[in-house]
Structure 1
């Protein structure tokens, strides 16, 4: 069973990883509660699809700007302190939502202000969180850590929205926001117990020059460049969430729309629960490419299928493929990026993570308007597979990446082993 069940080695070997695992589980659960309650409340106050859609517009720019700056900040300050402060700020914003919901007549504008603030703080925090993993987890356990991190996210993505819908329907918005506030309170307490994570010696202050230095490093490494490019291509061509309601209408299965949105998370969760074998993989570039190809093929199959249960199965397989590709990307980043650049490279990853799905929504909606819902599905899926194959051909080092032989991975592994070994005894050092 050890080859199937998740590898718990990072959980056992690193106290800070355990703290972040529990912190992330609580935070994701509470955050997804608010992510569902917030647009529902805007809909309740305005009864306008445009007003609900405007929330995405106010979120995107702060996320992009603060994601890049947050990456530079994560390389220049104590990452623990940055995580703690941003988590506390997110808790304050959740409290604003709760207070507003308790008013006799809740206001609309605070909802947009909070949405923008949450997006900005998330952009500042995420690079620090992502770049901390390689510091607190042994080098040979990074794949297992990525799988466990995926599990905590998928738990929140499934349980949070499901509970939010029930709570909002039967108790209102305030109880949902109350759960979110409580989650951030617990999360902040857990973050206070993390070990300090100061920057490496000689770290420069955050600047545009520093961000450009990170971008140049990523551009000079075909393996890293391939991870970003494959993710962007997969999301741009085959992210169909915007047109799922129309597919549900065509299948005469409006009742299954919620299941369609959840199917991908279910597939990711199943893969995470059976990810024990990932720790023995060394060709992580293959995981990136094959996972993205599975994602595209499954989305195309969903567009061809005429039965709702087959569509749900295809969407679940797509989610598993996305999870597989994500595990490969996270492992390559943690194994190869120098400590002094981890934050800035994580900030660049925020760009691909954010822009890909947003642009994919636009592509899917535009294509569906021109050709219909089903062609938008299958053409996007096939375009995803073709683009991933092209990128693999143009960037062969991504396919050939091997954790045991890659030069950058070997340098990071040696540096981590030297760090764990500590300084030599005083007498030995004097002799040397």
Structure 2
């Protein structure tokens, strides 16, 4: 497999036609054709390393805060220090990604994320014992990450053909899901052996893999006649919102994701249900870990058998059905009296979410012009990050009032109802067909 020429800036790499996929198994296992493109292959392989490293840091930050303070309130404060930069810089970062060379922006933000990981290691190794230092460094790191994430997503359409986008999204989502399952387990195993500070150091070292992959990318300057004068200010961010408002396909895509995550994400109820419904002891037990691992596990298994994604042309139908399926799975979870049934329903929901995520990502790449792609990915980042956190607040309050199981099941029912209403009011989304390479996307 030869590397792509460094001079390419305008579009996805041309690849030879793939060999015919024969046999039933090859038609359902994950489609690896995007990995034949060298630039994407390097980004994906580096993403495996950095995803596991980031999960180590995800465990290390709350563990250090609790060790320093003995208070879960400080651990909760980390959520605010993370989500605010993600929202603010996610929106602004998308505008920046549309105004500058995306390769250079990826280099700058990846260096920033790496340096903050090094500083987190340094403060832990030096025994500074300052929770505020940890929180500030976390906030700075999340600001860099918030700019990096929409930029990295916007790069995809410049690397691979649109017909391969569902497969590329499935590959990326599977990597994330697998790391979400095994990363925390690895962190728990390493923590007593190497100490907390070393988790930060491993994360920093892992991030160098992405730096190498980004360095090998071709230049990606902004496209369009207005590219030389394009800016990245508040006006451009507002233009992104106006752009979404005029395109029912994008509006429905964001709306359905908000419905699924805000009304139907029950993770705030896991601790209560693990103890009071499934019999965990007060200090914690295996049921809690199983509940947290179930959704990413289901997504990972679905990703490994996502070869059929390429044959689906009605992306709108696929998204709507998978979101409704997520809601049905959450109804089953809420009504479960056995932890194993609960895990099964959560895993089933995770598989449905993987389908929704892959086709929403493909739709977002296909239905957006390149000069707006960064801003749309920035909004996508905010929805993905903010939705589950709003759900935590809502499910926690409702669960305290009517019970955790009823809150989870009711949220799932609400997802199904709101999905039907959304499709009825936005029928163009239901009719949306995946465009072929070179064809204009529906709006």
Asked whether the two chains share a fold, i.e. TM above 0.5, the reply is yes
Q: 1:217-236, aligned counterparts within 5 Å?
A: 217-236=243-262
Q: Which runs of 5+ in 2 are unaligned?
A: 1-24
CA drift of 1:105 comes to 4.7
Does the Cα contact within 8 Å between 1:335 and 1:409 map onto a contact in 2? no
Structure 2 equivalent of residue 418 of structure 1: none
Cα 1:183/1:46, change in 2 over 3 Å: same
CA drift of 1:80 comes to 0.9
Does the Cα contact within 8 Å between 1:69 and 1:347 map onto a contact in 2? yes
- In the alignment, the residues of structure 2 paired with residue 359 and residue 225 of structure 1 have an alpha-carbon distance, to the nearest angstrom, of 19
CA drift of 1:101 comes to 1.3
Does the Cα contact within 8 Å between 1:296 and 1:382 map onto a contact in 2? yes
Structure 1 equivalent of residue 59 of structure 2: 36
CA drift of 1:258 comes to 1.0
CA drift of 1:159 comes to 2.1
Q: Secondary structure at the match of 2:440?
A: helix
Structure 2 equivalent of residue 410 of structure 1: 439
- In the alignment, the residues of structure 1 paired with residue 44 and residue 435 of structure 2 have an alpha-carbon distance, to the nearest angstrom, of 27
Does the Cα contact within 8 Å between 2:434 and 2:441 map onto a contact in 1? no
Structure 2 equivalent of residue 352 of structure 1: 383
Q: Which runs of 5+ in 1 are unaligned?
A: 414-432
Matched, 1:3 2:38: no
- In the alignment, the residues of structure 2 paired with residue 121 and residue 295 of structure 1 have an alpha-carbon distance, to the nearest angstrom, of 32
Structure 1 equivalent of residue 13 of structure 2: none
CA drift of 1:255 comes to 1.8
Structure 1 equivalent of residue 408 of structure 2: 377
- In the alignment, the residues of structure 2 paired with residue 340 and residue 409 of structure 1 have an alpha-carbon distance, to the nearest angstrom, of 17
Matched, 1:199 2:226: no
Does the Cα contact within 8 Å between 1:230 and 1:388 map onto a contact in 2? yes
CA drift of 1:409 comes to 8.0
Structure 2 equivalent of residue 252 of structure 1: 279
Deviations 1:262-307 (A, max 9, x none): 1111100111000001011111111211111111111111110101
- In the alignment, the residues of structure 2 paired with residue 105 and residue 172 of structure 1 have an alpha-carbon distance, to the nearest angstrom, of 15
- In the alignment, the residues of structure 1 paired with residue 266 and residue 63 of structure 2 have an alpha-carbon distance, to the nearest angstrom, of 21
- In the alignment, the residues of structure 2 paired with residue 307 and residue 383 of structure 1 have an alpha-carbon distance, to the nearest angstrom, of 23
- In the alignment, the residues of structure 2 paired with residue 271 and residue 232 of structure 1 have an alpha-carbon distance, to the nearest angstrom, of 22
- In the alignment, the residues of structure 2 paired with residue 25 and residue 82 of structure 1 have an alpha-carbon distance, to the nearest angstrom, of 21
Structure 2 equivalent of residue 71 of structure 1: 94
Q: TM-score, normalised by structure 2?
A: 0.90
Aligned counterpart in structure 2 of residue 301 of structure 1, from 322, 332, 338 = 332
CA drift of 1:377 comes to 0.8
CA drift of 1:170 comes to 3.4
Matched, 1:313 2:344: yes
Structure 2 equivalent of residue 81 of structure 1: 104
Structure 1 runs of 4+ with >3 Å offset = none
Aligned counterpart in structure 2 of residue 190 of structure 1, from 205, 213, 229 = 213
Matched, 1:115 2:138: yes
Aligned counterpart in structure 2 of residue 20 of structure 1, from 26, 43, 46 = 43
Aligned counterpart in structure 2 of residue 266 of structure 1, from 297, 305, 315 = 297
The alignment covers a number of residue pairs equal to 410
Structure 2 equivalent of residue 92 of structure 1: 115
Does the Cα contact within 8 Å between 2:166 and 2:362 map onto a contact in 1? yes
Q: Secondary structure at the match of 1:175?
A: helix
Q: Secondary structure at the match of 1:74?
A: helix
Q: Secondary structure at the match of 1:411?
A: coil
CA drift of 1:404 comes to 4.2
Deviations 1:57-91 (A, max 9, x none): 11121111101110000001111111111111111
Structure 2 equivalent of residue 277 of structure 1: 308
Structure 1 equivalent of residue 242 of structure 2: 216
Does the Cα contact within 8 Å between 1:37 and 1:165 map onto a contact in 2? no
Q: TM-score, normalised by structure 1?
A: 0.92
Does the Cα contact within 8 Å between 1:287 and 1:327 map onto a contact in 2? no
Deviations 1:233-282 (A, max 9, x none): 11111111112010001210332211110111110011100000101111
Once the two structures are overlaid, the 10-residue window that deviates more, 217-226 or 149-158, is 149-158
Cα 1:404/1:74, change in 2 over 3 Å: closer
- Root-mean-square deviation (CA, aligned residues, Å) is 1.5
CA drift of 1:331 comes to 0.9
Structure 1 equivalent of residue 22 of structure 2: none
- In the alignment, the residues of structure 1 paired with residue 410 and residue 178 of structure 2 have an alpha-carbon distance, to the nearest angstrom, of 31
- In the alignment, the residues of structure 1 paired with residue 420 and residue 47 of structure 2 have an alpha-carbon distance, to the nearest angstrom, of 34
